[in-house]
Amino acid sequence: MTPGTDPRPRPAPGRAEGPTFAFHHVWRIAAPTPRVFEALAAADRYAEWWPQIRLVTREGPDDGMARVRSVLPIPLTLHLHREVSDAETGHLAVRIAGDLCGWACWQVRPALGAAGAPATVADYRQTVVVAQPRLRRLAPPARLLFIANHSWMMRSGERGLRRHLDC
């Protein structure tokens, strides 16, 4: 990311009203940064290694649809629009619409692993508004459960990516 730039995609027009969730997770992967970036940039292949991503279909060069279901029996349909894919800066970002509205981004950067081996830090940030009516009603009383569910899903994704990259 270049200094002074905002890594977040622009909010979608007609932004949804509802409970807002902001997430931040850091993955440390014992693999070279270009391999990690390539895997994270190929969002249409997430279902191959991330168990909670049930289906991803490409709907155009920068657009797709994902079906997601974690521990909670609440499937989500998300429409994704790629805003940024910059291997040089390690930045990936998508705008999200559907059952959730907002954005998600990765900042992928080199790090040192055990004994100085190449490794990667993948910093994930997401801010979404719950747009699906049933979920919007459930979100306030189930807020902590939704946060725990998301954290579990992210840990599972990190394990899946490590297996996918054989590290």
Residue-wise pLDDT tens digits, 37-65: 999 999 999 999 999 999 999 999 999 99
Query: Residue 97 domain-assigned?
Result: yes
Query: Residue 79 domain-assigned?
Result: yes
Give yes or no for residue 153 having a pLDDT over 70. Answer: yes
Whole-angstrom distance, CA of residue 94 vs CA of residue 103: 6
pLDDT in tens, 82-100: 999 999 999 999 999 999 9
Q: 56: domain range?
A: 20-164
In the chain, what percentage of residues exceed pLDDT 90? 82
Confidence of residue 110 (pLDDT cuts 50, 70, 90): very high
C-alpha distances in Å from residue 106, one per residue of 25, 70, 102, 121: 10, 20, 14, 10
Question: Which has more confidence, 117 or 85?
Answer: 85
Query: Residue 13 domain-assigned?
Result: no
Determine contact, residues 121/111, Cβ cutoff 8 Å.
yes
Give yes or no for residue 13 having a pLDDT over 50. Answer: no
Can you give the CATH number for the domain in which 93 is found? 3.30.530.20
**Number of folded domains that form the chain:** 1
Q: Three-state secondary structure along 35-87?
A: HHHHHHHCHHHHHHCCCCEEEEEECCCCEEEEEECCCCCCCEEEEEEEEEEEC
